[in-house]
């Protein structure tokens, strides 16, 4: 999708932009009327693409709002950040995504824009089949917006037509009470059913890369129904919900695999940098089921470049150093044989030691985490990454970081998604965000199947886990199970799948919501203090300075193991001032006072002292 003119019937404002490579321009086409727009497929196409630009998630799956503002990576053991959620001080005012302002950039403002488009499209004179294809794309984004709301609060007001903005009657209509949670999920499913029915499995034009396909809609349906079947919404374990989730994800796999989608051959940075469409309408990257595109323009004043890449790079090479995995996140990756690094069932073939934390790990570890002594493509401009500390005085009393500017607070940097072919600094990077990867669809299917007690070696839990671990580069083992235990029970399979999701989707914005939907925030995280890995050079004073200047690169190239053994000591340092303390109210957030004052028919959740039951 290239340059797109957008005309909303509400404002008759026209904006030119791209959906996938979003370059914003402004044009004065105010003389267009709604009839001209919605009777012409070209202008309708431009209008529907505005819905993409309003609703597509950014990096880490961010859709704005309170949770993403805190940084999902700061809400789990992935990284460390202090916020009201991990501190246990959240109130009904903490999650304001419901919104009260009459603005097009909040949840209901975006839903109003979608509903306005659907109303005016329906009134137009386009062929019915053409209308359905345009409408299905709008239905997807309406389903997306309502899913974002329902997973935060439970049931919310269902608005399916654009309400008038002024007048007493309009005011009364706007006082819509909350729909039952089940009703919101039913509406989401209805909208997505239309998407699967009327959208193509592949768009015919290469320029349409990034548009919603029937497979992407089916995959999102699988995510939605998996959430609805999970303990957050399904505490009584209604098996019918798991069956619905299984069926939806099975359909998604069928559609996607028949149309060129599948696992990317390897797990490294090229999984993110391989993008765009092919001449037959398929994706260049089979893993990319649902994407948000970015551009690389350094000229256009409205360039929508990928700011994540530069933010991930260390400050010593003019990045921001914003994303730093904790020691706990590094420990989550299994060993090369697929066995855990620590705890029950820990690897005996590759025993883990903190002093050699980087050795014999799941290859996804090296593609996700940059550590002291690691090579990192062109990111470090020809050198290795060094994050250790040294004593600048011979007395060992003045400790300094070897990083020239602002040390990593954990000893690590996030490597996933960084384009390692680009030298630092990397102001203009066009790497697309992949919101749904094919791997997620496989693990959604595996989890649904496990909950239905499909636990044989030939069933989806084992088959899909093995496919993902094989792609990662984990050793097959003599039994061909890639480190998995044979004969796992339903609960063991689910726990294994959750662990796999933690590693496979690290820093992709999914860990917090996975723990939340499974009601695992408290048992997994409460009482924890996240840690940094502190690497200390054994030399001090002039010896340290000389070593930094001349020896470390050559020594590391010769033997990183020997360098660690001779030159470094490792220890942990707590990053949190207090233990993580998630409240039970985090599973359904409170309705803010401003929203209740704005709509007297809104009821507060019973998890926050009100009468509304979000489980109905």
pLDDT of residue 1: 40
Biggest distance spanned by C-alpha atoms of the chain: 83
HEC string of 332-356 equals: HCCECCCCCCCCCCCCCCCCCCHHH
Task: Write phi, then psi, for 423 (nearest 5 degrees).
Answer: -75, 160
Residues in the chain: 616
% of the chain with per-residue pLDDT over 90? 81
CA separation for the pair 312, 321 (Å, rounded): 5
**Residue 277 pLDDT greater than 80, yes or no:** yes
In this prediction, residue 503 has a pLDDT band, given cuts at 50, 70 and 90, of very high
* Of the listed ranges 172-181, 381-390, 419-428, 436-445, the one predicted with least confidence: 172-181
CB of 525 within 8 A of CB of 77? yes
In this prediction, residue 362 has a pLDDT band, given cuts at 50, 70 and 90, of very high
pLDDT, average across residues 7-21: 38
pLDDT of residue 499: 98
Q: Which residue has the tokens 């309009």?
A: 170
CB of 106 within 8 A of CB of 54? no
pLDDT, average across residues 452-478: 97
pLDDT of residue 282: 86
CB of 295 within 8 A of CB of 21? yes
CA separation for the pair 510, 443 (Å, rounded): 12
Q: Which residue has the tokens 């002024």?
A: 166
For residue 214, the SS3 value is helix
Q: What digits encode the pLDDT tens for the residues 132-146? A: 999 999 999 999 999
pLDDT of residue 306: 81
Which residues are bridge partners to 389 per DSSP? 401, 536
Question: What does the DSSP 8-state code read for residue 527?
Answer: T
In this prediction, residue 25 has a pLDDT band, given cuts at 50, 70 and 90, of very low
pLDDT of residue 42: 92
Question: Which tokens hold the place of 315?
Answer: 């400050």
Alpha helix stretches (DSSP H) within 154-269: 168-174, 181-198, 214-229, 239-257
CB of 432 within 8 A of CB of 291? yes
CA separation for the pair 486, 395 (Å, rounded): 55
CB of 296 within 8 A of CB of 500? no
Closest CA to 9 of 56, 50, 58: 50
pLDDT, average across residues 470-490: 97
For residue 546, the SS3 value is helix
pLDDT of residue 393: 81
Cβ-Cβ contacts under 8 Å for 235 (sequence gap 6 or more): 519, 615
Catalogue all structural domains in the chain, each as residue range(s) with its CATH number.
Answer: 1-55 (no CATH), 57-76+89-181+588-616 (no CATH), 199-306+434-519 (1.25.40.900), 318-429+531-574 (no CATH)
Which residues are bridge partners to 88 per DSSP? none
pLDDT of residue 281: 83
More confident residue, 59 or 167: 59
For residue 202, the SS3 value is coil
Q: Is 566 exposed, middle or buried (0-12, 13-18, 19+ CB in 10 A)?
A: exposed
**Residue 32 pLDDT greater than 80, yes or no:** no
pLDDT of residue 27: 37
In this prediction, residue 100 has a pLDDT band, given cuts at 50, 70 and 90, of confident
**Residue 558 pLDDT greater than 60, yes or no:** yes
CB of 17 within 8 A of CB of 49? yes
Long-range CB contacts (within 8 A, 24+) of 204-209: 204/281, 205/277, 205/281, 206/276, 206/277, 206/278, 206/279, 206/281, 207/1, 207/2, 207/277, 208/1, 208/277, 208/281, 209/1, 209/20, 209/275, 209/276, 209/277, 209/283, 209/291, 209/293
CA separation for the pair 612, 601 (Å, rounded): 11
Q: Which residue has the tokens 């903005």?
A: 165
More confident residue, 12 or 211: 211
CA separation for the pair 10, 118 (Å, rounded): 12
**Residue 566 pLDDT greater than 90, yes or no:** yes
**Residue 108 pLDDT greater than 50, yes or no:** yes
Closest CA to 475 of 487, 488, 484, 464: 484
pLDDT of residue 13: 36
CA separation for the pair 327, 60 (Å, rounded): 20
Alpha helix stretches (DSSP H) within 39-127: 41-55, 65-70, 84-87, 107-123
CA separation for the pair 149, 143 (Å, rounded): 10
In this prediction, residue 101 has a pLDDT band, given cuts at 50, 70 and 90, of confident
**Residue 173 pLDDT greater than 80, yes or no:** no
* Of the listed ranges 238-247, 268-277, 538-547, 549-558, the one predicted with least confidence: 538-547
CA separation for the pair 588, 575 (Å, rounded): 28
User: Whole-angstrom distance between the N-terminal and C-terminal Cα of the chain?
Assistant: 41
pLDDT of residue 290: 97
pLDDT of residue 430: 87
**Residue 111 pLDDT greater than 90, yes or no:** yes
pLDDT of residue 24: 31
HEC string of 450-518 equals: HHCCCCCCCCHHHHHHHHHHHHHCCCCCCCCCCCCCCCCCHHHHHHHHHHHHHHHCCCCCCHHHHHHHC
Question: What does the DSSP 8-state code read for residue 120?
Answer: H
Q: Is the peptide bond before 515 cis (omega within 30 degrees of 0)?
A: no
* Of the listed ranges 251-265, 283-297, 463-477, the one predicted with least confidence: 283-297
In this prediction, residue 298 has a pLDDT band, given cuts at 50, 70 and 90, of low
CA separation for the pair 37, 6 (Å, rounded): 9
């Amino acid at each position: 999708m290239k340059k797109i003119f957008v005309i909303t019937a509400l404002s008759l404002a026209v904006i030119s932009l791209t959906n996938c490579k979003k370059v914003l321009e402004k044009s004065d086409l105010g003389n267009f009327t709604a009839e001209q727009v919605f009777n012409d497929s070209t202008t309708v196409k431009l209008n529907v693409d505005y819905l993409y630009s309003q609703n597509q998630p950014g990096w880490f799956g961010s859709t704005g709002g309170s949770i993403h503002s805190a940084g999902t990576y700061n809400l789990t053991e992935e990284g460390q950040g202090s916020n009201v959620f991990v501190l246990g001080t959240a109130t009904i005012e903490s999650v304001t995504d419901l919104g009260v302002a009459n603005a097009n950039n909040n949840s209901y403002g975006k839903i109003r824009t979608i509903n306005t488009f659907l109303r005016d499209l329906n009134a137009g004179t386009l062929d019915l089949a053409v209308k359905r294809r345009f409408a299905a794309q709008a239905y997807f984004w309406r389903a997306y917006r309502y899913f974002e709301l329902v997973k935060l609060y439970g049931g919310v007001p269902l608005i399916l037509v654009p309400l008038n903005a002024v007048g007493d009657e309009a005011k009364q209509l706007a006082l819509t009470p909350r729909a039952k949670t089940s009703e919101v999920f039913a509406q989401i499913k209805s909208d997505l059913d239309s998407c699967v029915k009327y959208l193509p499995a592949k768009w015919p034009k290469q320029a349409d890369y990034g548009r919603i396909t029937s497979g992407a809609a089916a995959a999102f349906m699988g995510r939605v129904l998996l959430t609805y079947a999970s303990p957050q919404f399904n505490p009584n374990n209604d098996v019918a919900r798991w069956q619905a989730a299984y069926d939806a994800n099975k359909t998604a796999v069928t559609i996607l695999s028949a149309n060129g989608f599948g696992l990317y051959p390897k797990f490294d940075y090229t999984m993110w940098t391989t993008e765009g469409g092919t001449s037959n309408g398929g994706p260049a990257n089979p893993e990319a089921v649902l994407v948000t595109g970015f551009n690389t323009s350094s000229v256009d004043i409205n360039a929508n470049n990928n700011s994540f890449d530069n933010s991930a790079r260390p400050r010593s090479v003019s990045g921001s150093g914003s994303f730093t995995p904790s020691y706990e996140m590094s420990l989550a990756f299994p060993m090369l044989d697929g066995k855990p690094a620590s705890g029950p069932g820990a690897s005996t073939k590759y025993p883990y030691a903190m002093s050699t934390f980087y050795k014999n790990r799941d290859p996804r570890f090296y593609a996700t985490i940059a550590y002291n002594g690691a090579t990192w493509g062109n990111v470090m401009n020809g050198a290795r990454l060094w994050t250790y500390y040294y004593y600048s005085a011979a007395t060992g009393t003045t400790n300094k970081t070897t990083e020239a500017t602002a040390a990593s607070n954990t000893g690590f940097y996030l490597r996933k998604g960084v384009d390692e072919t680009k030298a630092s600094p990397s102001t203009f990077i066009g790497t697309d965000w992949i919101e749904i990867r094919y791997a997620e669809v496989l693990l959604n299917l595996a989890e649904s199947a496990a909950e239905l007690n499909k636990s044989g070696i030939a069933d989806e839990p084992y088959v899909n886990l093995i496919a993902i671990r094989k792609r990662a580069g984990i050793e097959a083992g003599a039994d061909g199970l890639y480190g998995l235990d044979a004969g796992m029970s339903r609960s063991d399979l689910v726990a294994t799948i959750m662990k796999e999701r933690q590693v496979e989707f690290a820093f992709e914005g999914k860990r917090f919501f996975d723990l939340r939907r499974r009601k695992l925030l408290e048992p997994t995280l409460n009482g924890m203090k996240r840690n940094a890995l502190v690497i200390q050079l054994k030399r001090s004073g002039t010896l340290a300075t000389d070593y930094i200047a001349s020896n470390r690169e050559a020594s590391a190239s010769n033997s990183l193991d020997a360098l660690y053994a001779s030159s470094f000591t490792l220890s942990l340092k707590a990053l949190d001032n207090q233990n993580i303390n998630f409240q039970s109210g985090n599973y359904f957030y409170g309705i803010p006072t401003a929203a209740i004052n704005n709509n007297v028919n809104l009821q507060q959740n019973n998890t926050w002292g009100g009468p509304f039951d979000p489980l109905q």
